[in-house]
Structure formats: C-alpha cells, structure tokens
Amino acid sequence: MTIASLEDLMNGPGEAETTFNEALQDGKFCGITLTQADAQTSLRVRTDYIAEVTKSIKKRFPSEHVGIIADLDTVINASRYPGADSVLKSYGLEALERVCDHYGSQRDAAAPLVQKERMLRDFLPVKRVLAGSGNPSFSESCRLLITSLGEMFPDFKTLAEVALVIPVSSVAAERGFSLQNNIKTVMRSRLSEAKTQRLMTIAYAAISLDAFYYAPASTQFKSLRPRRKV
C-alpha cells in the first residue's frame, strides 16, 4: 500500500469494493438488505479510515526522509547504474549532493558522518568498481562497500552501514512484539526483562532442535558452576 494507491482509493472504489458493488442486487448483498443510511455510513467510515492511514504513513515516513532513502538507493544500488561509462560519469551526482548535505552536517554530532569533498572525488571510482563487480543488488553493494571496499572508500562504507539499518517499515518491530507476547504470556508474566530477551533471541535466531548439537552445550552448562548429582 502506497500513498498514491491510498489517494486513488479516496477518489474511487478499489478492487474489493468494486466486486462488492457488482454483487449488490436490488440493494441486497448475500440476502442482507442495505439501506441508504448504511451506504452513507460505509462511505464515511471508508473515507475516514483511508485519511487516517494516509496521515499515519506520512507522519511515520516524512517526505524529506523518504527522499534521502531514494537518494541512498540511487548512490549505492549498483543494479541501477547505467551501462555506458559516459552516462555513468554523471549518474547520481545530484542525489549524492543531497546525501552529502544531509549526512555531512548532522546536528548535535561531534563530527560529520561523511566528508563531502572526498565523497564527490570517490564517487566515480566507486561506481566503476561496483559496476565491474557485476552491478550487484542494493544489499550486495552495501556488503561490498562495508567489507572489501571499506578501507578504500570509508565514506561510502559509512553510508552503506547507515542504509542497512534504516527501518523502512514497522514489520520488524511488530514481529518482535508478537514474539514477545508468545513468550511472556499471562502464565509467565514474572519473567525478567533479561530472561525474556534471551528467550526471544533463542526463538528468533537459534537453529532447530533437530540440528542442535547437545554435547558441547551440556559440557558448557556443567562447567558454569558445581552441580548437585542426582
């Protein structure tokens, strides 16, 4: 769901609503009679709901921040680079300028995250190296910039690290809340924060029980402190 698609829904019915309207026969749907008041209430609730969702999305993702994310994608994502070297030279320069202005003058920061002059100088070599690596995807470009190219292009390494931790949706946070609720239930409400966190880590990142190697885990557990023999 995007802002554009929500604005389209404000101006006309979507696919599901169109199907619903087509199924109406003489004001009845599945044997239920719908009055004019029902239709007006439905339209008002629909309009209010879409407006509230649109407002929430705009508040969570301000346009200026969305623009920076798009600029990061332009600068780092080698899969979008043009093939011709003559075009590659000028590609992304305006986006890089905005990125440098944004991250090169951070408020309340001891030092800027990146150096603009050095980034402008290094941008063409970065593009050529990434293009020569097969025009990798966004995530793979970030991985290369952080690992093998990090020392050569430190500012782009910083940008890649920033790009990989930007939360572009709330899915991860909502998934975390669901996992926490599955672990810290009403019957286990006295679990400490530290233990809850460890259990969540195990549930999220641990390997399956079938693949778990119990012997070293048992040895480690026994070595932590003396155990009473039974």
Q: What is the pLDDT of residues 30-76, one digit of tens each?
A: 777 877 777 778 778 888 888 888 888 777 777 767 788 889 999 99
* pLDDT of res. 217: 85
- Give SS3 for 33: strand
* pLDDT of res. 2: 67
* pLDDT of res. 136: 94
In a domain, 229, yes or no: no
How distant, in Å, are the alpha carbons of 123, 170, 184, 190 from that of 180?
Answer: 43, 15, 6, 13
Question: Alpha-carbon torsion 203, 208, 213, 215, what sign?
Answer: positive
What is the pTM for the complete model shown? 0.53
| Residues of the domain holding 201 | 171-223
Is residue 176 domain-shared with residue 218, that is, in the same domain?
Answer: yes
* pLDDT of res. 17: 79
pLDDT per 10-residue tile (average), the chain, 230 residues: 74 80 77 76 82 80 77 93 92 94 71 89 95 93 94 94 78 79 89 89 80 86 76
Is residue 82 domain-shared with residue 151, that is, in the same domain?
Answer: yes
Query: Which DSSP string corresponds to 168-219?
Result: -SSHHHHHHHHHHHHHS-GGGTT--HHHHHHHHHHHHHPPPTTT--HHHHHH
Is residue 157 domain-shared with residue 175, that is, in the same domain?
Answer: no
* pLDDT of res. 11: 80
Is residue 198 domain-shared with residue 127, that is, in the same domain?
Answer: no
